[in-house]
Structure 1
Amino acid sequence: MRKGLTQENAPIYEALVRFQKNRVVPFDVPGHKRGRGNPELKELLGEKCVMMDVNSMKPLDNLCHPISVIRDAEELAAEAFHAAHAFLMVGGTTSAIQSMILSVVKRGEKIILPRNVHRSVMGALVLCGAVPVYVNPECDETLGIPLGMRVEAVAEAIRENPDAKAVLVNNPTYYGICSNLPAIVKLAHDAGMLCLADEAHGTHFYFSDRLPISAMDAGADMAAVSMHKSGGSLTQSSLLLIGPAMSEGHVRQIINLTQTTSGSYLLMASLDIARRNLAMRGRQEFERVAALAEYTRREVNSIGGYYAFGEELKNGDSIFDFDVTKLSIHTLDIGLAGIEVYDLLRDEYDIQIEFGDLGNVLAYLSIGDRLREIERLCSALAEIKRIYHGEKKGLMVQEYIPPIVTLSPHEAFYSESESLPIEETNGRICSEFVMCYPPGIPILSPGEQITKPILDYIAYAKEKGCSLTGPEDANTERLNVIKGV
């Protein structure tokens, strides 16, 4: 790291401020020329924002091959997140996850992972041709959600697939549930495998001793971190962290295969400033967020009917730890699916929460939340129960259906396919993705057999108003299946 730099610095932002003072005449892109060519954009975003929407140049470094201010920002991020190196990612955590997987496995090689991964993981397998070895997570039958990976299940997968190159772990899941990451890292390393972490929802783990262990502190080799989720940077900005066993140069080459050559300085500056904010104030801020979440859990549970679950779920294995900042609320006992509560909050109370699935809602709490909004949420939930409370009978509970895998995602995605009405696809092999978004965990992935329980689940999700994404048919009335299979 350059001498004199500390966590109080924000090198990219500081370079942008210096650049603005120079009043450079722009004969480069972007074409709006500091907003002059697009006054509506300037009015929307403000003069300071469009003035900082600039292209790579010598004073501002280059994201594809950083040697000055971007390099400094990456090294400060690595220090803050306990990594050997950190890469600034402007394609979201999807890009970080895909770069992470493409760095460690290639066509025909195996990677061990839970089936309840984000669609970006499956997309990476389509791109590189690696073969997934699924560890089916346990499920909580009451909450209807997938849990973490049991250590013994991972050990069994490693024993049965000693040629696998890596193990991938969610740290945490969307619902805040963590597997025993240190034990899984040790299992992987003892078998000569790498351990990767999808840490999209665990940015804050690096800034609190009362939260679950972070991937880098657990010894993982790579972690994809969504700074824009709980870290406070702009949407679409993330970090990719690596440990000492990984080659920085190789990972950079992989990143550059798919990441834009026109990196947004607004996104990079937001990462820089957010990292500085977390390094300087993160510990006290996330203590406050955790306390706010615990208070909210008590308030929601006092309403009756709802269940805002927390650390009491921990069992030492499939729920090794729990992220207490996550406000996940089970809704079925008031007679409403989670997606129905989600819609009511948005449509009737102007409250936008993160997502609702068939049995739960998730309100995402972070450094920007205040008590007054919490009180408004709790009041709305109480009123929804009073007005819309019904019988639980007939509501689907199960949120996870173990897949029947017949082909690799790559092979299935690129196979010749045909489109059929969804009701005629039972028993066929899917060649596309189907998922509720958010959270973006596939119900079906390419190469998996379509079964009656899956079709029932899709129909029920549509009936309840879930947003289904992935299929070529936007209405999910038809599915693409492998021709002749």
Structure 2
Amino acid sequence: MEKLNHFETPLFDALMEYVNNNTIPFHVPGHKKGNGMAKKFFDFVGKNVLSMDVTVFEQVDSLHKPTGPIKKAQELAADAFGADATFFVIHGTSGAIQAMILSVMGENEKIIVPRNIHKSVTSGIILSGAIPVYMQPEVDKNVGVALNVTPETVEEALRNNPDAKAVLIINPTYYGVSADIVKIAEIVHDYGAVLMVDEAHGPHLKFNEKLPISAMEAGADICAQSTHKIIGSMTQSSMLHVKSKRIDINRVKQVMSLLQTTSPSYILLASLDVARMQMVTEGKELLDRTIELAEYARREINNINGLYCFGNEIVGRDGAYDFDPTKITITAKGLGITGHELEDILAKKYYIQPELADMYNTLCVFSIGDTKENVDYLIRALREISETLYKDNVEMSKALDMPEIPEMVLSPRYAFECSNIALPLEESIGQISSEFLMAYPPGIPILCPGERITREIIEYVIEMKNAKLSIQGTEDPNVEYIKVVNDLQILNITA
């Protein structure tokens, strides 16, 4: 096989040729290289970016039927990430995950998933009509973070559901915890199922040996990655990688064409092209530096009174086969505050914006774009916060246990689409949910459509709200009401 030249950036180069030729645009978008753009936006963004904001024509290729630079850029990406085919995605990894599920799953077919999935997985399940079978990930109760699933948990789920068509796992989690994906791939394939991977937080794994193994290297059949999260593409740009042994690549093409806009952003597409080039040609060095900065930050944070930042010490526990050191999870309960309160102080007093906060933790994501100067500023801010808040013998709150996975009464798709009525949360206990309840970020569902609402779930949601954590999923923005199934015929059958 011909060795590909990863210094090439075919799509970016095609756009530059268009710009450098001073091509006169009688095509959309209407701002015409920025000439029709509002001045204050144009002055900030500049002409360069707006000049490459184009539409579909032969010179720059078509995302839906690529034959030129997009085709070549995707082939280079597939080679770089170890896939048989790679698809550029410009509606986020949520869209890639939905496409992944729709490419494999049909109505009433079983898919085994961990409970700490992102809401996009459940959205894909609803769109496909598949039936989810949930696995419970291991949990670190000290910091209140879900880890990952074990191979034993995956095998038990398959043993109990031998008709499952696919298993989906997360590699790594939002907090950087990886499963034993090589062993899981062997188990899944032994049962004749497909292994899908939500690798939103692992687009960098392939490019440095100090990181956990990537899904494609480990034997996954299809995986979705957020290229924009750690490496250098733009927000909303992602990739879907496919192996052809168990996946019909033409089916994936059809699904991607069904879901993606016919007016894709060539700026986002070009950023994927150059991000691949950067990772293959200098990714190891860039990631070495990122890992070094993250480990430096972890050491310094662990020397600050009242704060804790877990690292490789969790490796070897159930559900923590490996760990991505670029994730800095700062546990603040030793200061007597929540992760949300720590995030609030960092954002409002120090103008430092973390990635997310939960009940006990604030997560800072390190990437190839971080600098020593910025990391030192974060550490100084945390030291000042500790000096203000730390007290000896502070009463540390105990991690709340996530509610038990509730009974699934109806398929998620049916419950989502059928007749419903809104009830106050406290009056919904015992009903079948028509909506989601989830802590966001990271978007992990506490309750999914089709599941029986329990008192434990409602009490957990109220505690989350009291802690000023974001609960989403309901049509009611204040999450005071939740829609429940109101189909009398169904309710009589399922009562």
- TM-score range (shorter-chain normalised) is over 0.9
Counterpart-to-counterpart distance in 2, 1:200 and 1:48: 29
Question: Who is 2:370 aligned against?
Answer: 369
Describe the SS at the equivalent of 2:65: coil
Written as runs of structure 1 = structure 2, the 5 A alignment for 1:233-312 is 233-245=233-245, 246-312=247-313
Counterpart-to-counterpart distance in 2, 1:4 and 1:411: 49
- Larger CA deviation: 355-364 vs 135-144: 135-144
Question: Who is 2:425 aligned against?
Answer: 422
Question: Who is 2:145 aligned against?
Answer: 145
Q: Is the 8 A contact 1:342 1:353 kept in 2?
A: yes
Q: Determine whether 1:354 maps to 2:355.
A: yes
Alignment-mate amino acid for residue 362 of structure 1 = L
Kindly state the Cα deviation for residue 386 of structure 1 after the two structures are TM-superposed.
Answer: 2.3
- Once the two structures are superposed, residues 240-282 of structure 1 have per-residue CA deviations (whole angstroms, 9 ceiling, x without a partner) of 0011322322111011111111111000001011111111111
Q: Percent identity?
A: 44
Question: Who is 1:182 aligned against?
Answer: 182
Alignment-mate amino acid for residue 402 of structure 2 = Y
Question: Who is 1:214 aligned against?
Answer: 214
Kindly state the Cα deviation for residue 451 of structure 1 after the two structures are TM-superposed.
Answer: 2.0
Alignment-mate amino acid for residue 138 of structure 1 = E
Describe the SS at the equivalent of 2:164: coil
Q: Is the 8 A contact 2:402 2:460 kept in 1?
A: no
Counterpart-to-counterpart distance in 2, 1:20 and 1:445: 48
Question: Who is 2:11 aligned against?
Answer: 12
Counterpart-to-counterpart distance in 1, 2:138 and 2:219: 24
- Once the two structures are superposed, residues 168-198 of structure 1 have per-residue CA deviations (whole angstroms, 9 ceiling, x without a partner) of 1100001111111011100111111110110
Alignment-mate amino acid for residue 361 of structure 1 = T
Q: Is the 8 A contact 1:433 1:445 kept in 2?
A: yes
Counterpart-to-counterpart distance in 1, 2:56 and 2:209: 38
Question: Who is 2:400 aligned against?
Answer: 398
- Larger CA deviation: 398-407 vs 437-446: 398-407
Kindly state the Cα deviation for residue 364 of structure 1 after the two structures are TM-superposed.
Answer: 0.5
Written as runs of structure 1 = structure 2, the 5 A alignment for 1:435-450 is 435-450=438-453
Written as runs of structure 1 = structure 2, the 5 A alignment for 1:17-416 is 17-40=16-39, 41-245=41-245, 246-315=247-316, 317-389=318-390, 393=395, 395=397, 397-398=399-400, 400-404=402-406, 405-416=408-419
Counterpart-to-counterpart distance in 2, 1:44 and 1:56: 26
* Aligned-pair Cα RMSD in Å: 1.6
Q: Is the 8 A contact 1:337 1:359 kept in 2?
A: yes
Kindly state the Cα deviation for residue 139 of structure 1 after the two structures are TM-superposed.
Answer: 1.2
Describe the SS at the equivalent of 1:59: coil
Q: Is the 8 A contact 1:330 1:360 kept in 2?
A: yes
Counterpart-to-counterpart distance in 2, 1:432 and 1:161: 26
Kindly state the Cα deviation for residue 4 of structure 1 after the two structures are TM-superposed.
Answer: 8.6
Q: Determine whether 1:461 maps to 2:464.
A: yes
Kindly state the Cα deviation for residue 458 of structure 1 after the two structures are TM-superposed.
Answer: 1.6
Kindly state the Cα deviation for residue 402 of structure 1 after the two structures are TM-superposed.
Answer: 2.6
Q: 1:452 to 1:395 in 2, by over 3 A?
A: farther
Describe the SS at the equivalent of 2:112: strand
Kindly state the Cα deviation for residue 49 of structure 1 after the two structures are TM-superposed.
Answer: 0.8
Q: Is the 8 A contact 1:151 1:317 kept in 2?
A: no
Describe the SS at the equivalent of 2:53: coil
Q: Is the 8 A contact 1:145 1:398 kept in 2?
A: no
Kindly state the Cα deviation for residue 440 of structure 1 after the two structures are TM-superposed.
Answer: 1.2
Counterpart-to-counterpart distance in 2, 1:374 and 1:54: 37
Kindly state the Cα deviation for residue 5 of structure 1 after the two structures are TM-superposed.
Answer: 5.2
Q: Is the 8 A contact 1:233 1:273 kept in 2?
A: yes
Counterpart-to-counterpart distance in 2, 1:142 and 1:481: 34
Kindly state the Cα deviation for residue 24 of structure 1 after the two structures are TM-superposed.
Answer: 2.4
- Larger CA deviation: 54-63 vs 315-324: 315-324
Question: Who is 1:471 aligned against?
Answer: 474
Q: Is the 8 A contact 1:228 1:237 kept in 2?
A: yes
Q: TM-score, normalised by structure 1?
A: 0.97
Unaligned residue ranges in structure 2 (runs of 5+): none
Describe the SS at the equivalent of 1:60: coil
Counterpart-to-counterpart distance in 2, 1:44 and 1:444: 43
Kindly state the Cα deviation for residue 366 of structure 1 after the two structures are TM-superposed.
Answer: 0.3
Alignment-mate amino acid for residue 28 of structure 1 = H
Q: Is the 8 A contact 2:334 2:396 kept in 1?
A: no
Alignment-mate amino acid for residue 422 of structure 1 = L
Kindly state the Cα deviation for residue 148 of structure 1 after the two structures are TM-superposed.
Answer: 0.8
Kindly state the Cα deviation for residue 376 of structure 1 after the two structures are TM-superposed.
Answer: 1.2
Q: 1:432 to 1:393 in 2, by over 3 A?
A: farther
Counterpart-to-counterpart distance in 2, 1:25 and 1:463: 57
Kindly state the Cα deviation for residue 418 of structure 1 after the two structures are TM-superposed.
Answer: 0.7
Kindly state the Cα deviation for residue 315 of structure 1 after the two structures are TM-superposed.
Answer: 1.9
Counterpart-to-counterpart distance in 1, 2:465 and 2:188: 39
Kindly state the Cα deviation for residue 288 of structure 1 after the two structures are TM-superposed.
Answer: 1.1
Kindly state the Cα deviation for residue 8 of structure 1 after the two structures are TM-superposed.
Answer: 0.3
Describe the SS at the equivalent of 1:9: coil
- Larger CA deviation: 285-294 vs 452-461: 452-461
Describe the SS at the equivalent of 1:224: strand
Counterpart-to-counterpart distance in 2, 1:336 and 1:450: 30
Q: Is the 8 A contact 2:305 2:390 kept in 1?
A: no
